[in-house]
Amino acid sequence: MKLILSLATLSLCAAGSAYGACSYPQSPSKLPDGNTATMEEMQAAAKAVRQYDADINAYVACLKLEHDQSVAKDAAALTDEQKKEIERMQVQKHNAAIDELEGVATRFNEQVKVFKAKNDKKKS
C-alpha cells in the first residue's frame, strides 16, 4: 500500500508540476518591540502585516486555482487516490500559510498592546 501511495505521489509531482507556480510570500522580516518602537515603526509594521495578509490571500487563491486546473486537466488520468492526494497537498499548503499568517498577526497584536499600554502610561 505504501508503495502504491509513493508511486501515486511521484506521479502527482510529475503531473501536477503547476503547483510550483504559486510563490509563497515572505513574512515581515521584523516586527517592532512595543516597548521601544516609535509610532512610525508601529505604523510601518501595520502596513507590512496588512501587505503580508494580502499576499497570503493571493497565495491561497493561487493554490486553489492551480488545484482546480490540475484536477480538471488531468481528471480522466487521475485515480480517486491521486485526486485525494492532490486535495490533501492543497489543503496542507493552505493551512500552513494561514497558520503562519495568524502567528504573525498574533505577535504583532501583542506588540500593539504593549505599545498602547506604554503610551497610555506616558499620557497619565
- pLDDT tens digits, 37-52: 999 999 999 999 999 9
**Mean pLDDT score of the chain, rounded to an integer?**
84
Predicted local distance difference test score (pLDDT) of residue 31 = 96
Structural domain of residue 15, as residue ranges? 2-123
What's the domain count of the chain? 1
- Burial of 100 by CB count in 10 Å (0-12 exposed, 13-18 middle, 19+ buried)? middle
- pLDDT tens digits, 51-68: 999 999 999 999 999 888
Predicted local distance difference test score (pLDDT) of residue 70 = 81
- The C-alpha atoms of residue 31 and residue 82 are separated, in whole angstroms, by 41
Question: Look-up: residue for cell 494580502?
Answer: 54
Claim: this prediction has a pTM higher than 0.85: no
Exposure class string for 44-67: b at 16+ Cβ within 10 A, else e:
ebeebbeebeebbeebbebbeebb
